[in-house]
């Protein structure tokens, strides 16, 4: 489980999902897609703003991730019922998780396939992802089917020459995510902005983007934030089990982006602590 590339390679060699994924790739290869380059960011985000996952494609890919990762999941008291009530009422949610490994997006995407309360997210959710995973044509078809949207972070660009373009791309990325949330899509996000390579047991300082996006949603009820903690446990023969703790969703709207960033870190830290003890 070292990289998303390795994960998809393993899936492609798993006979139980091989035929279905191959059919997905063949079908999506017919669909034109813009090249994922910073210089082409405007066309990229125009595409992903309106991009929808096909229901059959989504069921296959989410199901494959559920089979591949099989996360062990726990809930805070009342979290499962609170989530069910919100989703049944049509309210959208933002799954906000800590980030320690390259496979974290796959683990989060596996949850709707395995947790009944989250099944409504299949085919109707997106997750910001680093642009490098879109470079391989086959992998791109797969991650597009899972709702990945590219984001250029400072570490992904040469800020000495591309700073202005990077800033413009970030603004359009935020506008794209807000449009998708306004359109009723759910979102998964890693608010730390990058992997924690120092101390995976402690949540890093959060970036402000998650607050900006949530507080600028105007066409639907403000999405509820669901704090999530992810921890990996290594067992016999190097087998790694992802453990996920899902906290209680936010119950009141946030007035300011800063309020989101003030509330969320402690909630995420509690979830990380609980995930480690699952």
Across 44-48, 51-55, 82-86, 216-220, least confident range: 51-55
Question: Which pLDDT band, with edges at 50, 70 and 90, does 154 fall under?
Answer: confident
- Identify which of 107, 87, 89 has the alpha carbon closest to the alpha carbon of residue 99: 107
Q: Taking a C-beta distance cutoff of 8 angstroms, is the pair 110, 15 a contact?
A: no
Residue 181 banded pLDDT, cuts 50, 70, 90: very high
Structural domain containing residue 189:
4-276
- pLDDT tops 50 at residue 274: yes
Residue pLDDT, tens place only, 207-253: 999 999 999 999 999 999 999 999 999 877 677 899 999 999 998 99
Q: What mean pLDDT, rounded, does the chain reach? A: 88
C-alpha–C-alpha distance, residues 267 and 228, integer Å:
8
- The pLDDT, as a whole number, for residue 159 is 65
* CA 222/CA 253 separation, integer angstroms: 6
Q: For the domain that residue 252 is a member of, what is the CATH number?
A: 3.40.1130.10
**Spatial separation of the C-alpha atoms in residues 177 and 157, rounded to whole Å:** 20
**Whose structure tokens read 């299949």?**
122
What is the tens place of the pLDDT at every residue in 57-107? 888 899 999 999 999 999 999 999 999 999 999 999 999 999 999 999 999
The overall pTM is greater than 0.75:
yes
Q: Can you give the three-state secondary structure of the chain, one letter per residue?
A: CCCHHHHHHHHHCCHHHHHHHHHHHHHHCCCCCCCCCHHHHHHHHHHHHHCCCCHHHHHHHHHHHHHHHCCEEEECCCHHHHHHHHHHCCCCEEEEECCCCCCHHHHHHHHHHHCHHHHHHCCCEEEEECHHHHCCHHHHHHHHHCCEEECCCHHHCCHHHHHHHHHHHHHHHHHHHHHHHHCCCEEEECCCCCCCCCCCCCCCCCCCHHHHHHHCCCCCCCCEEEEEEEEEEECHHHCEEEEEEECCCCCCCCCCHHHHHHHHHHHHHHHHHHHHCC
Q: Is the pLDDT of residue 258 over 60?
A: yes
Domain count, the chain: 1
Q: Count of CB atoms within 10 A of residue 207's CB?
A: 16
The residue written with tokens 């413009």 in the block is 168
What confidence category does residue 9 fall into, taking pLDDT thresholds of 50, 70 and 90? very low
Structure tokens at 180: 């998708």
Q: What are the pLDDT digits (tens) for 13-32?
A: 444 444 454 555 545 555 67
Instruction: Please state the rounded mean pLDDT for residues 251-268.
Output: 96
In this structure, are residues 47 and 217 in contact, taking their beta carbons and an 8 Å threshold? no
């Amino acid at each position: 489980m070292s990289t998303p590339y390795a994960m998809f390679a393993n899936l492609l060699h798993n006979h139980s999902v091989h035929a279905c994924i191959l059919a997905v790739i063949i079908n999506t290869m017919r669909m034109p897609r813009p090249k994922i380059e910073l210089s082409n960011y405007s066309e990229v985000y125009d595409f992903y703003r309106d991009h929808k996952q096909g229901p059959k494609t989504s069921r296959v890919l989410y199901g494959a991730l559920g089979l591949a990762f099989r996360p062990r999941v726990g809930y805070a008291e009342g979290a499962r019922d609170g989530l069910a009530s919100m989703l049944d009422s049509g309210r959208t949610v933002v799954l906000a998780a800590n980030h320690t490994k390259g496979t974290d997006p796959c683990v989060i995407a596996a949850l709707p396939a395995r947790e009944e309360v989250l099944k409504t997210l299949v085919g109707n959710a997106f997750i910001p992802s680093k642009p490098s995973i879109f470079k391989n044509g086959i992998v791109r078809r797969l991650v597009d089917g899972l709702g990945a949207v590219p984001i250029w972070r400072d570490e992904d660009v040469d800020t000495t020459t591309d700073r202005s373009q990077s800033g413009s791309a970030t603004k359009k990325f935020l506008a794209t995510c807000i449009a998708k949330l306004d359109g009723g899509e759910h979102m998964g996000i890693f608010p730390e902005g990058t992997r924690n390579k120092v101390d995976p047991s402690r949540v890093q300082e959060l970036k402000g983007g998650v607050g900006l996006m949530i507080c600028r949603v105007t066409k639907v009820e403000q999405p509820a934030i669901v704090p999530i903690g992810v921890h990996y446990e290594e067992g016999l023969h190097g087998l790694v089990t992802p453990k996920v703790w899902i906290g209680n969703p936010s119950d009141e709207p946030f007035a300011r982006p800063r309020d989101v960033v003030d509330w969320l870190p402690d909630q995420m830290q509690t979830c990380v602590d609980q995930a480690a003890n699952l």
